[in-house]
Amino acid sequence: MSIDDVSLISGPSSSDLANKIATHLGVKPISAEVCIFTDGESKIRLPHFENKTCVIVQSTYPPTDRHLLQAMMMIRKCSETDCTNIIAVIPYLAYARQDREFLPGEVVTMSVIARLLESVGVKHLITVDAHSTASLSHFRISVHNVSSIPLFAKYAEEMLDLEKPVVVSPDLGGASRAATLASILKTDFIALNKNRDRSTGEVKIDTDEPRYQFGNKDVIILDDIISTGDSIVKAYEAIRRFGSTGKIIVMCTHALLINNATQKIINAGVDKIVATNSIPNNFSTIDLSPIICSPLQSAMSMH
């Protein structure tokens, strides 16, 4: 497939990342024209294009529903042309945490999102560090879940002055991520025992038994999503309670940082926050475009 037969649409939530992906691919991005009306409705216009493959880059961070609907609007417009291969690049895939019925009567929203994206014409989905593989099982199309761990490892080795830092997951669910990063860095990892009340959202971490002798070793707290910052603060406090006296760095793929989350984390004493550009903010120092382009080129070659 010729790169000349590819249109890359830069969604309003991910223009910088889309531009970086376009540079890697050697294509000129097409910017979506967006108008937000006073009632909150979005209107989107795409310039005319006739290519067979269409790539839409749009993360679905807050305002989540707006960004999600905008993505579907752009995808639908592509499907109304002669495009035969529509690829959605959604680095932060909203609703991935609603992948099952945790409490009786809950809607499995990820299943709804999967049907919606399929219905507007998506053939391939590329996302980054989806919250759970179970969330991706709801899709009937080709899905590629990219890991950002190699980029975090490279950043830690080249940009952080840490000597064999201990990698910590704030919960047991993130143990495999922490193990992967620790393996690349040739160091230790642990996963804390976190519990979240499904009704109130309150976070608690078991600190009855010391899980590691930290001493003066530096620590990397690794998470996929930081939303309110409560889990990171609780993890930081637990690590200090376990005797850590070294630096504590937070690394996360998707830094939502809702409301005063940043201030809470900084006030707790965290030395540095490092995130990817799946969500543009002051901490998105790691560029995802190099690891997105490989699966994207594979998807582009499929018709």
Residue-wise pLDDT tens digits, 87-112 = 999 999 999 999 999 989 999 999 99
Q: Contact 55/89 with Cβ under 8 angstroms?
A: yes
pLDDT at residue number 164 = 85
What does the pLDDT average to over 126-136?
93
Evaluate if residue 241 carries a pLDDT over 70.
yes
42-45 and 33-36 beta bridge pairing: antiparallel
Per-residue pLDDT reduced to its tens digit, 245-295: 999 999 999 999 999 999 999 999 999 999 999 999 999 999 999 999 999
Domains of the chain: 3-147+288-300 (3.40.50.2020), 149-286 (3.40.50.2020)
Q: How would residue 227 be classed by pLDDT, with cut points 50, 70 and 90?
A: very high
Amino acid at 272: K
List residues bridging with 255 in a β-sheet. Answer: 226
Q: How would residue 193 be classed by pLDDT, with cut points 50, 70 and 90?
A: confident
Q: Which has more confidence, 85 or 50?
A: 85
In 154-292, at which residue ranges do the beta strands (DSSP E only) sit?
166-169, 189-191, 194-196, 203-205, 219-226, 248-255, 272-276, 284-286
Q: How would residue 201 be classed by pLDDT, with cut points 50, 70 and 90?
A: low
Q: How would residue 213 be classed by pLDDT, with cut points 50, 70 and 90?
A: confident
Evaluate if residue 1 carries a pLDDT over 90.
no
Alpha-carbon distance of 155 to 284, in angstroms, equals 12
Report CA-CA distances (Å) from 17 to 13, 62, 125, 183, 188.
9, 17, 16, 28, 32
Q: Contact 187/163 with Cβ under 8 angstroms?
A: no
pLDDT at residue number 195 = 74
Catalytic residues: 194
pLDDT at residue number 275 = 98
Amino acid at 222: L
In the chain, at which residue ranges do the beta strands (DSSP E only) sit?
6-10, 30-31, 33-36, 42-45, 53-57, 85-89, 124-128, 142-146, 166-169, 189-191, 194-196, 203-205, 219-226, 248-255, 272-276, 284-286
pLDDT at residue number 82 = 82
The mean pLDDT of the chain is 93
Q: How would residue 141 be classed by pLDDT, with cut points 50, 70 and 90?
A: very high
Alpha-carbon distance of 185 to 149, in angstroms, equals 11
Evaluate if residue 165 carries a pLDDT over 80.
yes
